[in-house]
Amino acid sequence: MVVSEDRVYRGQAVGDRRRDRRERFLAAAVEVFGTQGYASSSVPQVCRAAGLSTRQFYQEFTDREHLLRTLYDQLQDRTMAEVNAKVLERIAAGDQLDGILDAGVRAFLAVYHDDARLVRINFIDVVGVSSAFEEHRQLRRAQWGELLRAAAEVGAEGGLTISTASPLQWAAYIGAVNAAIVERTLDPSITETDVVDAMRTLLRPGILGAADVN
């Protein structure tokens, strides 16, 4: 029997109850995976943290890796949307390239600001989970490369002097960003400004070319 999501159960629509349950599992995954590590966790631990049953878990996710992938995609989608919005906003405002680059990097860092759990999940624990997950991570990196390429194209069309970067160069940059965020988590003396400065240097005079000399 198919249950309509509009059906009300205990005063709440079935669809709303399922979305709420899914969010509780994802929040629990942040806590469990982010503090003790994905490899050392289990479905029952996630369920206890969420205050839900294993039966309810398997109604939402096929297994623990599916939960991790869902959380990873949620973080990736959020970060991509915020970086893209901020960069295009600054381009439209007529900012100079260095200001646009700084705004984009800061938008990226803001998603993981002061939450080492998210850094661990998104940049450490997802590595080497399975061959299928590695293929998925490669796809997400390619999406990042396309987003950055498209943003650079918009900037060039708006009059900014930007060198054309290859997919390999963008992949190298994305890897460097990830490494810098992890390093900051491990070394409290590294500030957000340090990371922004390092990322800007890699972009300019790095893969986007040196600034114009008037």
Residue 46 pLDDT class (50, 70, 90 cuts) = very high
Indicate if 80 and 39 belong to the same structural domain: no
**Would you say residue 46 lies in a domain?**
yes
Indicate if 15 and 36 belong to the same structural domain: yes
Q: Which of 41, 61, 81 is the endpoint of a domain?
A: 61
**With 50 as the cut, is the pLDDT of residue 214 above it?**
no
What value does the mean pLDDT take over residues 193-199?
91
* Rounded Cα distance, 151 and 161, in Å: 13
What Cα–Cα distance (Å) separates residue 201 from each residue in 38, 102, 120, 176, 198? 33, 10, 25, 11, 5
Range of the domain at 27: 1-61
pLDDT tens digit sequence for 11-21: 556 667 889 99
Q: Tokens 């709420």 belong to which residue?
A: 20
**Would you say residue 75 lies in a domain?**
yes
Residue 101 near residue 58 (C-beta atoms within 8 A): no
**Which tokens belong to 69?**
């992938």
CATH number of domain containing 29: 1.10.10.60
Helices 131-157 and 97-111 sit at what angle, rounded to 10 degrees? 150
**With 50 as the cut, is the pLDDT of residue 59 above it?**
yes
CATH number of domain containing 173: 1.10.357
Number of domains the chain is built from: 2
* Rounded Cα distance, 126 and 119, in Å: 10
What Cα–Cα distance (Å) separates residue 148 from each residue in 101, 144, 153? 11, 6, 9
Indicate if 55 and 125 belong to the same structural domain: no
Q: To the nearest whole number, what is the mean pLDDT of the chain? A: 89
Q: What is the DSSP letter of 203?
A: I
**Which tokens belong to 114?**
């002061």
Q: Tokens 């498209």 belong to which residue?
A: 150
Alpha helix stretches (DSSP H) within 93-130: 97-111, 116-119
What Cα–Cα distance (Å) separates residue 41 from each residue in 13, 36, 50, 100, 125? 32, 7, 14, 40, 11
Indicate if 161 and 172 belong to the same structural domain: yes
Indicate if 1 and 44 belong to the same structural domain: yes
**With 60 as the cut, is the pLDDT of residue 58 above it?**
yes
Indicate if 27 and 42 belong to the same structural domain: yes
**pTM for this entry:** 0.86
Residue 110 near residue 81 (C-beta atoms within 8 A): no
pLDDT tens digit sequence for 69-101: 999 999 999 999 999 999 999 999 999 988 998
Q: Residue 211 — φ and ψ, nearest 5°?
A: -70, 155
Q: Residue 48: its pLDDT value, please?
A: 98
